[in-house]
Amino acid sequence: MLAAAHAGRRSILQPQRAAQLFLLPSIVVLLLLLAIPVLYSIWLSLTDANLSAGRLDTPFVGLENYSNLLQDKAVHNALLNTLYFTVVEVGGVLLLGLSTALLLNHPLGRWSGFRVLLLLPWAIAPVANAVLWKWIYHANYGVLNAILKSLGVIDSNVTWLGEPFRALNMLLIVDIWKSTPFIAILLLAALQNIPRSLYRAARMDGASAWQSFRYITLPSLKIPLAIAAILQTIWSLRTFDLIFVLTKGGPADGTVVMNFLAYRVTFNFLKFGYGASIANLIFLTSLLLAIAYMRLLKPVGRR
Partner 1 sequence: MKPLLPLSRRELLKTAAASSLAGLAWPVSSQQAMAQSKTLSVFAPRPPDPAPPGAAKFSEAAFAEWQKANDSSVSYDLVPWPELHDKMATTFASGEHVWDVVYMSGWVPEFAKFLTPFSAKLSKELVDDLPKSSFATVTWGGETSGVVFTLSLLTLFHNTELLQKAGFKEAPKTWDELKAAAKETTRDGQFGWVLNYGEPAGIGGTASYWMCFLQQAGGKLYNDDATPAFNNDAGRAALQMMIDLMPYTDPGSISYVGINDATNVMTAGKAAMMMNWPFMWKPANDPAASKIVGKLAGALLPAGPAGTASIDGTDAWTITKTSKDPDLAIKLIEFYLDKEVQKRQAIDTGWLPIRLSILSDPEVQSALPNAAVVLEQAKHPYDSYVTPDYNEVTVAIGTEINKALAGKSNAKDALAEAESLVSAIVKKRS
The footprint of partner 1 (CB under 8 A) covers 51-56, 138-140, 157, 159-164, 167, 246-248, 250-253, 264, 267-270, 272
Q: Rounded to the nearest whole angstrom, what is the least distance from the CB of residue 202 to partner 1 in the complex? A: 51
- Of 84, 75, 87, 85, which Cα lies nearest the Cα of 258? 75
When the beta carbons of 222 and 238 are compared against partner 1, the nearer one is 238
Q: Rounded to the nearest whole angstrom, what is the least distance from the CB of residue 44 to partner 1 in the complex? A: 11
Q: Rounded to the nearest whole angstrom, what is the least distance from the CB of residue 170 to partner 1 in the complex? A: 10
When the beta carbons of 85 and 274 are compared against partner 1, the nearer one is 274
Q: Rounded to the nearest whole angstrom, what is the least distance from the CB of residue 253 to partner 1 in the complex? A: 5
According to DSSP, the residues that pair with 60 across neighbouring strands are 47
When the beta carbons of 232 and 247 are compared against partner 1, the nearer one is 247
Q: Cβ distance 61 to 48 under 8 Å?
A: yes
When the beta carbons of 178 and 264 are compared against partner 1, the nearer one is 264
When the beta carbons of 54 and 206 are compared against partner 1, the nearer one is 54
Whole-number Å distance between alpha carbons of 13 and 6: 11
Whole-number Å distance between alpha carbons of 238 and 232: 10
Q: Rounded to the nearest whole angstrom, what is the least distance from the CB of residue 15 to partner 1 in the complex? A: 44
User: Within 10 A of 184 (CB to CB), how many other CB atoms are there?
Assistant: 26
Whole-number Å distance between alpha carbons of 216 and 102: 13
When the beta carbons of 98 and 171 are compared against partner 1, the nearer one is 171
Q: Rounded to the nearest whole angstrom, what is the least distance from the CB of residue 135 to partner 1 in the complex? A: 11
Whole-number Å distance between alpha carbons of 294 and 277: 25
